Amino acid sequence: MIDNKRYIIYDPKLLQYTDENSNSYWASMSILAHEIGHHLSGHTLNNNDDKLNNELQADKFSGFILYKLGATLIQAQTAINQLGTEQDTDTHPSKYKRMDIIKMGWEEASVQRYESAIPPPPSDDKSFGGEKGSYKDEFFKEEIIGEKELNEENFGGVINKYNYPFLEGIIIDVEKKGYDGDMRAENFDRNPSDKNMTLTIQMTKDSKSPFGDIYKNGTRIKFNLMDYDHTSLAELSWLEALLVPGRKIKFQSFYYGYEAEDIFYIKKLNR
């Protein structure tokens, strides 16, 4: 505290060192989140002498916030793993205690992920598409799924064989990843792609699923997009701009396997 104002004073060389050694900017992010945690926990406003507990509280805060920012657990722990001590000191707990409490904060944020309120419509909701047609608001299977997959009888053939129902829902969460292990990529002789998404969608009306049962209004279900990088860069950007939390969409999906359904048609709807 300086003149009753909160400050964080840091050495840029330390942040650069941790980022370079971990090959990730999450190291410096976690350090800054930790220091912010001290301020928000009131540690700079009182004379609490429990220094070790204060450090653990700030560590837990950093783990919680880094999950919210998109870091993996390993990324959230990397700075402490590099800089922490093997044993407790007078001022800081051992790195093992600190990594454990970071994990606790990270996991608490993870539990909240799919229990949050419905996100508000994105700011471009009324103008998406624009008078000049700046964006596309509808994507078909040929634009979402690669040609090789579409030519596979057990993939594209399945899509073409059945009249899958149209579903409607609001995107609650977007994760830039596919199935664990990216098994579909392996099945089609692909390298795992960074153009994978897992969407959590809250259904907005009762609808039949591809299995014949009913997706109830209000239920939240995970769907997938895999290796959707088969069109121009412009269309890729339009698709990613469409698939953001808060967006209402009409879509079709089918079950290919690996514990989740694949989306093969998407259209934006107004809320």
> How many other β-carbons are positioned within 10 Å of the β-carbon of residue 161?
10
Quote the pTM value.
0.60
CB 260 within 8 A of CB 223: yes
H/E stretch holding 54 reads helix 51-69
pLDDT at 135: 75
* Least confident span in 95-104, 131-140, 157-166, 236-245: 131-140
Superfamily of domain 138-269: Nucleic acid-binding proteins (2.40.50.140)
Confidence of residue 127 (pLDDT cuts 50, 70, 90): low
25-50 in b/e form (b: 16+ CB < 10 A) is ebbbbbbebbbbbbbebebeeeeeee
Q: Per-domain residue ranges for the chain? A: 12-112, 138-269
The per-residue pLDDT for range 146-163, each reduced to its tens digit, is 888 888 887 888 888 888
